Structure 1
Amino acid sequence: MQGEQWKKLEKVFGGYKLIAAFKPGFSTCRTRTRLTQVAFDLAEERLVTVDSKGNGYIVELSNEYPVYKKLGPVGLSSFIAFNPFQNDEILVGLSSTDIKVFNLKKKSSFLLSGHISVPNEISFYKNYALTTSSKEAIIWDLKSCLKMHQLKLHSTNISLKRSAVSTLGQVAVLYSNDIIQIWKFKKFDSDTRVDMKSFGLHNVKDFNFTKDGKTMILSAFWNKILVLSTSTWKPIKIIQLPENLIGVKRIAILPTPLDGGSNHIIAILSSHMIPHFLDLNTSCFIDISIKEVQLLSGIKKLCISMSGLYIACIENNGDLILIKTEKLLPTKSVSKEYVQLKKIGKRKLKPHCTEDHLRGIQQSIKKELKLQRLLSILNEFGEYPKKHRSIIWTTVLQLPANRSAYAALANENPREHIRKDMLKDYPLSEQSKAKLLNITIDCLVNWCPLLGQNLFLPRLVFPFLVVFQQNPILAFEAVLCVLCNYCQKWFEYYPLPPLNVLGIVENILLEADPALLNVLCEKGITSTEYAWPLLQTTLSEVLSGDEWMILWDHLWSYGRISLLLMCVVAYNICCREIIISILKTPEDFKKLYTTQGHISVKNLLEIAKRLDHQTPFRIHPSRYFRNKLCFLPTEGPYPPFLMQEYPKFLTDETRIAKFERLKEQNQVLKKHQQHILKESEEKRIHVEAENLRKQIHEARLNELRKCYDEKIRNEEWQLETAWNIVDKNSMSRYECTCKESLNAAKVNDKTDSEKSDAWNRRKCEELQDEVEKLEHEVHTLLETV
C-alpha cells in the first residue's frame, strides 16, 4: 500500500500483540475485523497475517522492536505461506478455490487454478508445493507455477483431512476414514497404506513430520499421541494423554537447538483453546508460568517459526500474539560466556538473507556479461562455454522470467487434441523432455491459438528446450523470442509455406551462386524443398547438437534477423558439390535437408556473414524485416503474436470460430468413419471365420469317407485272399465225409460274420468320436480368431 507507515506492535507481558482493526458499522456499534491466518518466512525475519476482510499485514521481526504495516487486499484466505523459492512472494489460498501468488515488493499477483474446492493447507518440498482441499491434493512446481501431479477423490463418503510432505520427499495424505496413504516423491506408481485403527487411533485429527523426516507424529481426538517410524511405518511410541485434555485439534512441531531434526517437543492445541507442550522423550508436559498461561488462553490457531524461535497465536477474538519461545520455555542453564557475549553485543546482527545473496549474484552477472565482453569472447573462442550457455543466452535475450504471465498461460485449459495432432510424428523417449515439450506446446497454443495448426512447431521448439530444460519459463520465453524475431512474415500465406520469405532466399542464392540455383531448377527442386525444411528446424536437423548451439551463439549475440536466412543460403552453397554431382531424385534432396550432414559451422558462419555484408540492399532481408532483436517485457502479460502476419480470413473472429467448428465436425466425422470401418472389419472377419470352419468341416468329412472306403477295400481283399488259400481238395473231402459238419460250419460262419459286423460298428463309432473331437477343436480355433 502506497504511503502506509510502519507501526510498532503493542507490547504485552512476555510478547507482543497485533490488534485487529475496527471498522465503523451502520449503527453506533462497531464490527470487528479478525485476523484469520498467519505464517513465518524461512529466515524468521518476517511474519504475514490476513484478516477476515482479506487485508494482509506484514510484520518485520529483524528489528529490535517488531513493527508492522498493512499490505492491502490479498483476498479472503483459507491459508497463507511464504514461497520458499521466492522469499518476496506469499501464497494465499482463496475462497474462490484459486491460489494467489502475491509479490510483496511489486504488489503484483497471479493465480494458480486447479482446485475444484477451497484449498485449506499447504506444505513444501524443495521447489514444490502440496496444496490440499477436501476432494483433491495438487503438487505445484513453484519455479514454473505448473501443476505437476494431482490426486482426485471420486467417492462422496471419503474426504481428505490433511496432507504433508516430509523433508525426505514422502507425500502423506490423511483420509476421513483414518487411513494414511504414502507415496515417495516422483514415484507415485507405488504407495503404502496405513490404517490408524490398527494402532488404536480413531478420528485422527492431525499429523506432522519431524524436521529430519524420520518420524511422523499423529494425534487422535480422544487422548492419544502416536509416534510412527517413516522407514517401517510401525509405532515407536503411543502416549496416552490425561483425561482432562480432550478434543485435540492441532499439533505443531517445536524445533529446539541441537536436536538434529529429531524434534521431541510438540505443541498440542485442544478444545480448551490452551496450547500444551509435550516432551516425547519423557512423555511429560513442560510447565509454563501462570502469566504465560493467561497470555496464551483462548487460542484458536498456532504457528511456530522454522527453527522454533517464535510462536505466533491467533486468539479467539482475532488478535495476534507473538512471543519468543525462550521466554515461554526458558532453558535450564545458560553459560557465563554466552551472558558476557550478550552484554557486549549492543545491536542484533541481521542474518544474511538467501534472496539478497541471489539478487546480488544476478546483478553481478548482468554487470559481467555485457554484450561487448561476450562478443569478444565469441570472436576469440568461436563459442560460449557449454555449462554457462543458458545463463549467457538469458542475459543476451534479457529474458524476464515472468512467472505471472507464464502461469496465466500454463494454467489455462490445455488443448490436448491439438497437442496430440502436433506430436504424433515427433515422439520422444526421454520422459522429462517429452513433458517439457507438451507443456511448452500447450502454452504456445494458449498464447496464439493459430499456432496449433502449424505441425512443424515441435521441430522448431524442441532444440531450444534442451538448452533451458532446467527452467521451463526461460525455455518458453526463448521460444517466444524466436517466434517474434526470426519468424517474421512466416504466416502471410498460411497454410502454404512462406513464399515471400522463400522468394528472398531464392534471390540471395541467385545473386551469390546462379549456377547452383540453375542446377536446382533443372532438377525441379524449389525453395520449398531446399530452404523451408532448414527454416522450420532452424538448421537443428542438419547440424549436430553442439554445432547448432554454436550457430545460435552467433545468431543471438549479433542480433541480426537476416543472418538466419543467410545461413540457409550458406548451407546450400556448402553442399554445392553434393547437389550437383550426387543428388538425382526428390527423395535424395529430402534426405539431404532432414538428416545431419558434415558441414562445419565455422565455414557456414563465414559464408553467411560474407553474404550478409555483400548482398545488395534491393534484395537484402533487412529491406523487408525488422533486423534487430526485440525483447519481452519484464512485467505484465506477454505481447500478442504478430496476428497481422496471418491471412485476414484466418484472424477474423467469426472465421476462426467457423474454422474451429468445422474442425470439430471433421473430428466427429473421422470417429464415425472409424466406427463404420471397425464394424465392417468385424463382419468381414466373422464371414471369413465361418467359411474357414465350413472348409475344414468338409475336409474332415472327405477324410472320413476315404477312411471308410479304404477299410472296406482292405476287408474284401482279406476275404478274397483267405478263400484262395483254402485247398479245394480238402474242402471236397470234408464235404463227402460229413454233411453235418457243413451245417455246423454254416453256423460258425454266421457267428463270425456277426463278430465282424460288431467290430466294424465299434471302429465306426471310434471314427465318429474322432470326427467330433476334430470339429470341436476347429470350432475353438475359430472362436479365438
Structure 2
Amino acid sequence: MEIPAKSISIHGDYFRPAVSQSKENVQNEGSEDEYDTHGDSDWEIDMASETTLDSAYSEFEKELATETQPSKEGINELHRSTAGLSDVPMHKYPFKLKQNEEGNILTVHNTIKSVDKDVRIRIAAYCFNEMSNKLVVIDRRGNIYIFDFVCKRYWRLGFKVPEATLLVASPLVHSEYIVGTESGCVFIFNIEKTPMLHTKVGDAAINEVSFGNRLDSNTACNTLIRLGATAVLLNFTTLQLSHRLEFDHSKYTLKFASFLPKSDKFFTCFTNDSVHLWSSSNLGTVYISQPIKARDRTIRLMRGDTSKIPEIVLRAEYDEEEDNLNDELAFKYDEQHFSDGKLLAYSFSPNGNKLLLSTVDGYLMMLNTASLDLEKLFKLRDFILKQFVLLAQPKNRILFAITATGMAVMLDLLQTEYKLIVQRSNALSLNVSRDGKLLSLLSKSGEVNVWSTCRLYNSLHAQTKCISKVRAALKQPAAKLPGLISGPLNLELRKLLKRERLEAMLAEYGFYPEKYRFIIWSVLLELPSNTAQFQALLKHGQPQVVKQRAAKIKVKSDAQRRAVIKVWSCLAHWCKVFGHTDFMPDLIYPFVKQMTKNSLVVFELLVTLLLNHMELCFEFHPMPPGNYLGLCENVLQVHDKQLSKFYAAMDVQPKDYAWSLLTNGFAEVLDEQQWLVLWDNIVTNPPYFIVFVIVAYNMMQREIIMRLPEKSEVVDFFHEQMPIDVTKWLNRARKLMSNCVTEVHPERFMPPFKPIPKGVYPKFLKYPREWIEQQEQLSDELIKQQQEIDARLRKLELEEIQMKERLQEGLKQEEHARRIKEMEQLYQDTIHREEERIACHRKMLLTYQMEARQRKCEVLSKLQETEQRRKILEMEKDIDGLMRSVERERRRQNQEMLFAEDEIRNQEMELMAQRYSSCLLDSPLTVKYYEEVEKMRNESDKLKKQLREMTMEQVQSSTEQASTPSKLKAIEYSIHEIQQELTDILNSESNSQ
C-alpha cells in the first residue's frame, strides 16, 4: 500500500484541497479504468522512514505479486484457507499522516509492481471502527488491511474475504467487523482473533446492513440486511434468520430498508416512492408516508412563490444575471430514467430524529422520523445527490455528499450559499467515522482518501469569511472579467498576476483556479479591452454570409447562440475570411459557453489566437492548411514512426487526425473540465505548443487507433470523446516540445507571440484575399440574380394569386348556385317527407279507431258475460241454500225414523215378553202371537204407506231441481233396506206358523 505525498490544487470559486491523482503507470484490475504503463511516474512516498522501509516494501510487494485473483469457492474452503493462514505472523508497516491544513491526511491504494506494468487492485469495501481510530480496507482480491491512526501502523490480516460488497463495524465488539458479499453471505471476523463466523442469508449481493437497539437480546430481531429487492431480519448474537421480507409486487419493488437509529423500528422505501415504517416485534405497519406527494403539496401551497425554498447552487456564477447555467452542467437530471421512482438516496441524522431524502429532480427533503412529516425542503439547482451523510456537530448543518457526476462536496444547510468541493470527480462512495472527525472517499481509480472534517470545516469557515469580506469591499458577489473591470483595479490585478507567478502556479497544480481563470487568460494574452473598436464592429450588424449560415448553428441556449453569432459577425467584419469559414462557430462556441456575457473578452481572445496560434491555418482557405498540418506530420514522423507508418498505410491524412482537433479547439474530444485545463496550458505556453498538443494526443491514443481496422473508423475516432489523462497528455506535449529536433521544430516557422495593441485590432493578412474577393463578387452577382429571380417569382406569384382569386370567385358563385339548388331540393324533400308522414299518421289513426271499437265490443261482451256469471252464481247460491235446508229436513226425518224403529222394536220386545210369560208352552205360535202379528202388519202397512208418500215427495222435488243429491239416494237405499228387513221378518213368521 502506498501513501502519496500531499498536493494542494486550486479549483473553482475558492482554494480547496484536491486528492492526489494516482493513475500514472497503473493498470486498474477488475474495473473499467485501465491506465497506460508507458511514461514516467509522478509518485512520491510520504513515509516516516523511507529508506529503512525499502526492504520491507520489496518483500511485501513480492508477496502481493505472487497472489492471484481468488476463485469462487465454498464457505468451507474459505474457512480451511483461513485456518491455514492464521499462523502467519502479521507484518506491521509504519506510515505518516500528511501535515497540511487542507484536510487530506491520507491516501490509500494497493498497487502491485511487476516487470512490464503496475497493476492497481481496486478497493471493494472500507469503514472506520467504532472507536474511530482504525480504518479497515478490503480489496477486490479479498485482502484485509488495517490502518491504525494511533500507532501509525498498517498490516494485512492472514485470511481473505473475496467478493466483498459491504463492510460495517460491529456495534457490540470494538474489534469485530461484518462483511457482506456478492453471493449473499455474511462474515464476522475479529482482527485480534482467528475464528471467523459466517451465515448465508440469500443469493443476491448485500447492499445494506443496519442494527436495532436490542443487540444484547438472544431472541429479538435486531439486524436488518437488504439484498436487492429482498430484506431479511436476523439475530446478530445467534446469527439465526427469523424473517424473510420478500416484496415481489408486480408494480413496485423494494429500494431501501434500514433500522431507525437507536430504535426497534425499521423503514422501507419502494420504487413507487412510498415510505413504510414497521415494527420489528410483530412486523406490523406503524405508518405510511408519501414524501414526494407531501413535497408537491407544499410547493402548490406556495402558489408559485418558490423563493421561500432554500436553494443550493454548486456551480460558480460569474454574474448575478446569468440565466443559462443549466446548459453548462455535465449532469442533466431531466434526462434520467424515473421507472424506479424519484427518491434517489437517504440518510439519518446522527441522533436518529431526522430522515433526509434526495430526489432525481433536484430536491433534498428533511423528514421527522417520528411522524414522517416533511419539515424542511431544499432545492438543488444544478446537481443531485446520490449519497450523503449529515454530521452531528455543529447542529446538524454540515452535509457531506457525492453528486451524480462523482463530485464530493461539503454543504452548509443553514447558509446554503457556502459550499466546499472536496473532490471534483470520480468519487464513488463516502464514509464518516462515528465521532464525525474523519471522512473517507472511495474513487473510481481504486483508492481511498481520508480527510479531516475539522480541517474541511475550517476551510469552509475561512472561505465564508473571505467571500463576505470581498463582497463587502467590491459590493458584488464574484470577481468580474477584465472587460468589466477598469481603472486602478485592473492595473492592480495586472501587476499582481505576473506571468512568472502564473507559470509557477500552473507548474505546481496543473491548472488555474476556476473563479479567476479567465482573468488569468486575459493577463497572459495581454487583452487590451478595446471597447470602442468592438462597439464599432458591433454596429455593422450581421454580414450577409454570417446571416445565411447562422441558421445551421445548433445550440440549445438562445443566449449562447446569440453570443456565438455576435462574435462571429465581429470576426467577419474584422477579416472577411472568417465569415466564409465553416468551422468558425465550432471554434467560437466553447469559449462563448464559458463567457456568455463577455463577448468582448471572447472576441479579443479569439483574435489573439488567430493572429498567433493559428496564423498559418488560413493560407489555403477553404482547403486545409498544408503548411501547418505539415508541421504536425513532421513532428509525428520523428517521434512516433510506427503510428506515422500506420497512417500512411491507412491513407489517413493530417487533416483527419490534426485539423479535425484544431477546428473545434479540442472541444469535441474532451469534457468541459479537461478542455479548460488544456487551454490553461495552451495560453501559457508559446503559440507553437498547440502543434505538440495535437501530436501528443495522437501518441497517447496510439494503442486504440492502431487497432482500428478501417480508415472511416480512424477518422470518426477524432470526433468522439475518449477517456484520457489530461495531466499526462500535457506532460507528453511538453516533453515533445523540449526534445524536438531543430529541423522540424515549429518554432522555426511560427513567429513569436504578439499581443493585440491598445486601441486597434491589427489586420489578418495570411489568407487568399483574391479568392475571397472573387467569392464576394460571385456572391454579389448571385445575390443580384437571386433578387431578380425573387422579383420575377413575386410577380408570377401575384398573377397566380389574381388568377386564383378570379377562379375562386367563379367557384364561389358556382358553389353558391349549387348550394341554393341543393337547399331548394332539400326543402322539397322535407315537405314531401312531411306529407308522407301525415298520411301515414292518418292511416295509423284509422287503424287505432278500428282497434278501439273492437276493444269496446269485447269489453261489452265481457260485461254481459260477467252479469250472466253473477246471476248464475246467485242461482247457485239459492240452490245451495235449498239443498242445505233439504238436507236438514232429511236428517231430521231420519232421526225420527230411527226413533220410531227403536220404539217399535221396544214394543215388539215387550209384546213378545208378555206373550211368552202369559201363553202356555204348548200353544202354537200363530195363536200366541196372532194379535201382535196383526198389529205389526198394520203398523208395517202404515209405515210403508208413509214411506211411499215421503219417497214420492222426494222424487218430485228431485225432478224439479233437475238433480238429486247423493244423500237422498242413500236415504232411499236405507229405507229400502228397512222394508226388506220387515218383509223378511214377516215371511219368517208366516213360515213358522
TM surpasses 0.5: no
Larger Rg belongs to: 2
TM-score by length of 1: 0.40
